[in-house]
Structure 1
Amino acid sequence: MKLKSVVALFLIIFYSCSREDDCFTITEKRVIDGKYYFYFDAQDRSDAYPNNNPGLDSGYPDRYGSGQVDKETFESTNVGDKYCE
């Protein structure tokens, strides 16, 4: 019984420590149709955000990535700040 508890505790600690946040530097902020967006340099994590623009050749990544945030987050950050999801 004690061994199971130790193993369970180890697994909980292992999984909680292995979580990696995706952090980006905000390069632009926009409000579009009442929704709040951050823009960031997609080269920060080009593997996380591949080119989804059908107008571009598949070998060229989009220059910017974006993400929608809530109003409070939008208003509490500035261009140049790090934002972690």
Structure 2
Amino acid sequence: MGEAKRRAQQGLPPREPKRESPKDTSPRIVSWFPLTRNQANQFVKVTTRGAWVGIGVLVVFWIVLRFIGPAAGWWTLADG
């Protein structure tokens, strides 16, 4: 039994068609390379955010290594 007949027998409304995702209509950077300007901008945003997260993690690591660890007695500094 087909889906449409089953839904009609059960008194269900017809299924709505699937909505298509919006297609990226921005121009390509180079005609032969499948990368659009919107995708390039999104890549720059994501990598910039990732770089700032990495810098933040590095700063936190340095503070723990230089100040918190020796203050808690976990290790001693070689130059201190």
TM-score (norm 2): 0.33
TM-score (norm 1): 0.31
State the structure with bigger RCO (CA 8 A, min sep 6), 1 or 2. 1
Q: Which has the higher strand share?
A: 1
Over alpha carbons, which structure has the higher Rg? Answer: 2
